[in-house]
Each structure stands twice: as C-alpha cells, then as structure tokens.
Amino acid sequence: MRVLVTGATGLVGNNVVRILLAQGQQVRAMVRDPRAGRSLAGLDIEVVQGDIKDEDNVRTAAMGADAIIHAAAMVHIGWTKEKMMRQTNVEGTRIVGLAALKHKIRLVHVSSVDALGIGQEDAPANEETPREGKVPCPYVLTKREAEEELQKLVAEGLNAVIVNPGLMFGPWDWKPSSGKMLISVVKKQPPLAPSGGGTTCDVRDVAQGCINAIQRGRVGENYILGGENLSYFDLWTRMAALTGRRPPWRKMGPYFAGILGYFGDIWSTMEGKEGEVNSAAIRVTRQFHYYSSAKAKAELGYQNRPLDQTLEDAWQWFRKNGYLPV
C-alpha cells in the first residue's frame, strides 16, 4: 500500500510515516520545504514538494497513492492568525479532499478533539456530544469548518474518515508541539498549573489509529483518539515526578488566570505578535477536555499504552535530541 502523508514533519505525521515504514508500507511525504531536515533524514520514503493550499500540487502528489493521511494543519491557540488558519486548515483540507475524490482513494483526516463538543470531569464527551461550549478561537472554528467541508465532499462520494486526537505526547516531536508542556515543566518548574484538564495520549497510538482507519473506519464517521482523562495539575505532577523536578504547588485560581490572560493580550498588542499566553489560551486550559475513545477502540482497534510510559519515552527523546539536558 502506498500512502501519501501530509504534515509528515509534524508530530502526528512523522510518527505515521515511521510506523507505516515499519509495517512494510510505501510512503510518499508531502512537504513544503524539500530540505525538511532531520525529521525525515534517513527514511526510505518518497518526498514530494508541495503546498496543501495548491490544488495542482496536491492532485499530483496524490496520483498513484492508495490512501491519504492528512495530518497537515496550523495550530495556534489565540485570537489572531484566523486568515492563515482558514487557508491551511479549511481550504487546504478541502483541496486534499478534492484530490482524494478525484483519484477515488481513501482519506483519513486528522482533526482534533477541539473540533468536538466539550467534555466534563464526570461526563466525558463522545463523537455525538453537541458541539458547543468551546472557546470560539480561530483554531477551534477552523478545525470544525474543515470537517464540515469534508462532509460536503462525502455527500458527493468522497471516501473519508475523520479522527480526533487528544493531547499527544511522545517521540519525534521535532517542532516541538504539545511536548512544550513537558519541556516547560522540566525547565521552568512552574508553581501553578492550569485549572482544567484534557485527554492525554501517546502519539504512536494515535498514528496507529490513523493507519487502522484506512481499512476499518466507516465513511463519514468521527473517531476520538484520546486516552487518560486527567487534570493539568495531575499531569504536571506526574511529569515532575518522572523527571525529578518540583511539582506545581496548586491549581491556578480564576482571578489570577484572568489577569494573566489580560496582560498576555496587552503584551501581544505591544509586541505586534500574539504570544502563547493570551486570554484564549487561558480560557481553553480552564476547561476539562475529557473524552471517551470507546468508539475508536471498538471499530478501529485503537489502544492506549500507559501514560507514564509515554511521558518517559517523550522525556528520553527530548534529552537524546538536545531539547533537555541529559
């Protein structure tokens, strides 16, 4: 089987590429920069240069493929960059869907639990939970709109499945992405943790879930690829224990969180560029993004390894690759 992978240098895409190769599959990686660097170095794959926002690029890259795993996306939790995210997350996904429809091949779209309804501590959400209650920042909105565009194409005959990963950790996080949370706990040992929580999972399990969806996913369906639901305070405490760092003292109170987000917005305005600390990000981390992966486990054979193993592997990978001290 030959699989086209978009976003092959990112956390999900890079793990998908490596697992496909280990399983003896042929991989074509679509990258914007042919000098993708160490993330794809030494891998026996076909690399094609292209941009998912270019219809000709995508149509050509998809030619001869048996399936597409579309993992490319722009991620920013804030109020800005809406135009860029809409171009990449919405229009880019629509273009990938059109290419899959033209070539009559299966598409697995990597979305996010952020596109779904909100879960609670005592009532994890599933694929059918009403899509309300999320912070209406551009990332959430564009991930939802991307799914809506694909569903329109499914109605026209597109053979597509949508997977919705949770908060992922693991190796091959070159950017890094969500691994920045682990790096922050190790380097800064923050005294206060966000008051919300999330569904935490291993990116390797998510990557395998994406691959399984090629053969086992039902057309037009969503599948949550989550894991252990726990508060950020508990997650940071486990990270600190694993790495020998000081754990957070307590959860961040709502008043302090609001002040932090407010001044983050002011600082972003002064700098002319929105930082990671802003009122949207603060609001997101005050929510409980708890989800059930029961559907994916039943239909895709999705499995979760223990979170402590995931965090250990991620920590060791960051140390080995120079992100953290050995």
The CATH number covering residue 152 comes to 3.40.50.720
Q: Is residue 60 part of a domain?
A: yes
Q: How many CB atoms lie within 10 A of CB 54?
A: 14
Q: What is the pTM of this model?
A: 0.97
Q: For residues 110 and 224, what is the distance between their CA atoms, to the nearest angstrom?
A: 10
Q: Is residue 107 part of a domain?
A: yes
Confidence of residue 121 (pLDDT cuts 50, 70, 90): confident
> What pLDDT is recorded for position 120?
79
Q: Is the pLDDT of residue 38 over 90?
A: no
**226-to-39, 189, 202, 289, 305 alpha-carbon distances in Å:** 25, 26, 9, 10, 11
Q: Is residue 144 part of a domain?
A: yes
Q: pLDDT (tens digit, 9 = 90+) per residue, 179-230? A: 999 999 999 999 999 999 999 999 999 999 999 999 999 999 999 999 999 9
Burial of 234 (C-beta count, 10 Å sphere; 0-12/13-18/19+):
middle
Q: Is residue 190 part of a domain?
A: no
Q: Is residue 317 part of a domain?
A: no
Q: For residues 135 and 284, what is the distance between their CA atoms, to the nearest angstrom?
A: 6
Q: For residues 295 and 222, what is the distance between their CA atoms, to the nearest angstrom?
A: 9
Q: Is residue 194 part of a domain?
A: no
Residues 6 or more apart whose CB falls under 8 angstroms from that of 276 comprise: 77, 78
Q: pLDDT (tens digit, 9 = 90+) per residue, 145-176? A: 999 999 999 999 999 999 999 999 999 999 99
Residue range of the domain that includes 137: 2-171+199-227+290-305
Q: For residues 172 and 179, what is the distance between their CA atoms, to the nearest angstrom?
A: 10
Q: Is residue 73 part of a domain?
A: yes
Q: Is the pLDDT of residue 36 over 70?
A: no
> What pLDDT is recorded for position 24?
98
Q: Is residue 311 part of a domain?
A: no
Whole-number percent of the chain with pLDDT over 70? 99
**8-to-97, 112, 264 alpha-carbon distances in Å:** 17, 17, 32
Q: How many CB atoms lie within 10 A of CB 137?
A: 23
Q: Is the pLDDT of residue 243 over 70?
A: yes
Rg (CA), the chain: 19
Q: For residues 164 and 320, what is the distance between their CA atoms, to the nearest angstrom?
A: 29
What residue spans of the chain are helical by DSSP H? Answer: 11-22, 55-62, 82-85, 92-103, 138-155, 179-188, 203-216, 232-243, 254-271, 279-285, 294-299, 307-320
Helices 55-62 and 92-103: crossing angle in degrees, nearest 10, is 40
Q: Is the pLDDT of residue 40 over 70?
A: yes
> What pLDDT is recorded for position 129?
97
Please state the rounded mean pLDDT for residues 60-84. Answer: 97
How many structural domains does the chain have? 1
